Homo-oligomer: A and B are copies of this chain.
Amino acid sequence: MTTTLSELNTCPLPAFVDTLRGIYEHSPWIPERAAEQRPFATVTALKQALQAVVTQASRDEQLGLIRAHPELAGKAAVRGELTAESTGEQAASGLNLCSSEEFATLHRLNADYNAKFGFPFILAVKGPTGKGLSRQAVIATFARRLKNQPAAEMAECLRQIHRIAEIRLNELLAVQLPYGPRIMQWAEELAQWSDDADGLTCAYLTQAHRRTATQLAEWMRAAGMQVTIDAVGNVVGRYPCDAPEAKTLITGSHYDTVRNGGKYDGRLGILLPLAIVHELHARGEKLPHHLEVIGFAEEEGVRFRSTFLGSNAVAGRFDMDLLEAADAAGVTMRDALVAAGHDPAAIPAIARDPAGVLAYVEVHIEQGPVLLERGLPLGVVTAIAGSSRYLVELTGLASHAGTTPMTMRQDAAAAAAEIVLLVEQRCGGVPALVGTVGQLQVPSGSVNVVPGACRLSLDIRAADDAVRLAAVDDILRGIEAICARRRIEFALEPIVQAAAAPCAPWLMDQLGAAVERQGLPRFDLLSGAGHDAMAMAALTDVAMLFTRCGNGGISHNPLETMTADDADLAAQVLLDFLRGLRRP
């Protein structure tokens, strides 16, 4: 039984509520309240309206919604009391086929979870590619979420309910996603090529990396693009328009990964425009500008510790001295390039002539929780934060924990603790400024020894360089004062100083308008992470579109995830943007 958006927009209220009854489990009040906003321009707008009702509901109503759901493989399932939708969804993960051990584990998890949170565990068991999550994955997610704080877990349950509703609504409206599922499937296939047996690691010029490049080139060719793999390893697919004198819009991202990374970081920004071209080519549609989709060979810096190798080459900023850098095994970049069949001397020729380039636009998974917590699939990036990084080494005096009076101590860890809190305090409360102490260690610390040394890292980022530099200045002066007061010596090693890259307002506006045409609010956010767009900003105007990152916003981790629906929306937005793109 399917229906259409126009039927939903025009039918009487009771029919609207009745048709959507199964979307949110046992909670007709949700479509009832959303109905006031009819007509909906898009299915996305309908989904957002339903979600907004839940967000604006009282806490009791939200709890009621959560509690209206059955336990996974719980008693209701055994007694056959699930809604038809739940029965089908639980079966998709084979939860009806659990072994007795798995049943026992789920039973214990359900009991512990209920005891901790007072509501049932909810999980959209359909995975990113549309297949059901495996029972093992369900159990692992269950165990992980059991550790959450109650407020965070309640929010996560509501997000899972929205995701379940989205899947159900797609079925009800027979929604076709022309891009999303293909993108997710490609990401899955690409992740098979890894340097490690478990997890996904794709470091510059390894066998897995070269196999990934070949695969991307194949898909690009199949999508009707002119393909080259350039001297630095970038996979470049060109989809020319009919006007030879037109400029080129470049899009893309990197295909290398961090160690044990996620499947979407970087790759989404290559596969998504590739899926668009695949569709355009199939129906013979051309764009008003030439389009280049670049799979940048290197962004993460895993193998040679130098980042943005691919995009720097395209931007004409590749540092040829790096060719002599060696990896952990002593292989130089030059030798690695030659072994991969590349001609290092040809790298400078990769640089594009800025005159021929219209702009650079990059789609990337957010790698953070902002869109997720706001319930928004997409965001327009305002700038890529500049960053300052330091390693700090504190030297006090190691002494006996029992025999050194508190007043006589030179405790390096206590100084470090003050610094951690100083960074937090100085960067908190300032918009678009973040500060992190990610490394913190008392080397060979003992329970009964006052720490004589402590090492820590500083990472300060901001959209505005002046804001960042002022914070760095305050923090360094604070460290000096803390160490002087505590009779601690400190050594500071600067490791990164990178200026912020602001996105071009004209690109942001046209991206934002395309977002709004999908029935979504335009939401602007800062990119705290570095991206190829940062390097490309040296060549041309840049913009970025962020997609929502699941699992609490986790990235650089196998738990990084996103939905086919969000990928599809981002593709619709990018295509709409590309079709209408005009330099003002």
Are the C-beta atoms of B389 and A447 separated by less than 8 Å?
yes
Q: Which residue of B lies closest to A461 (CB)?
A: B402
Are the C-beta atoms of A457 and B437 separated by less than 8 Å?
no
A-B contact pairs, 6 of them (CB 8 A): A367-B402, A402-B530, A403-B528, A416-B417, A416-B420, A438-B448
Are the C-beta atoms of B450 and A438 separated by less than 8 Å?
yes
Are the C-beta atoms of B448 and A552 separated by less than 8 Å?
no
Residues of B contacting A420 in the complex (Cβ-Cβ under 8 angstroms): 413-414, 416-417
Instruction: Please tell me if A149 contacts chain B, counting CB pairs below 8 Å.
Output: yes
Closest 3 CB pairs of A and B: A368-B403, A402-B528, A417-B420
**Contact residues of A between 53 and 104, Cβ < 8 Å to B:** none
Instruction: Please tell me if A399 contacts chain B, counting CB pairs below 8 Å.
Output: yes
Q: Which residue of B lies closest to A149 (CB)?
A: B487
Are the C-beta atoms of A421 and B418 separated by less than 8 Å?
yes
Residues of B contacting A366 in the complex (Cβ-Cβ under 8 angstroms): 403
Residues of B contacting A437 in the complex (Cβ-Cβ under 8 angstroms): 413-414, 417, 451
Cα–Cα distance between A401 and B438 once the two chains are bound (Å): 8
Are the C-beta atoms of B402 and A529 separated by less than 8 Å?
yes
Cα–Cα distance between A454 and B553 once the two chains are bound (Å): 20
Which of B421, B436, B448 touches A436 (beta carbons < 8 Å)? B448
Residues of B contacting A152 in the complex (Cβ-Cβ under 8 angstroms): 487
Are the C-beta atoms of A370 and B403 separated by less than 8 Å?
yes
Q: Mark A409-428, 1 if CB is under 8 A from B, else 0.
A: 01101101110110010011
> How far is the CB of A389 from the nearest CB of chain B, in Å?
6
Q: Could you tell me the dominant secondary structure of chain A's interface residues?
A: mixed
Evaluate whether A440 and B451 lie within 8 angstroms (CB atoms) in the complex, with A400-B528, A402-B387 already known: yes
Residues of B contacting A440 in the complex (Cβ-Cβ under 8 angstroms): 413, 416, 440-442, 445, 451, 454
On chain A, which size bracket covers the interface? 35 or more
Residues of B contacting A438 in the complex (Cβ-Cβ under 8 angstroms): 401, 413, 442, 445-451
Residues of B contacting A495 in the complex (Cβ-Cβ under 8 angstroms): 447
**Contact residues of A between 531 and 584, Cβ < 8 Å to B:** 552-557
Residues of B contacting A184 in the complex (Cβ-Cβ under 8 angstroms): none
Q: Which residue of B lies closest to A496 (CB)?
A: B447
Residues of B contacting A5 in the complex (Cβ-Cβ under 8 angstroms): none
Residues of B contacting A445 in the complex (Cβ-Cβ under 8 angstroms): 438-441, 457
What 6 additional pairs, Cβ within 8 angstroms, besides A403-B528, A440-B442?
A389-B447, A397-B552, A400-B555, A403-B527, A413-B420, A441-B445
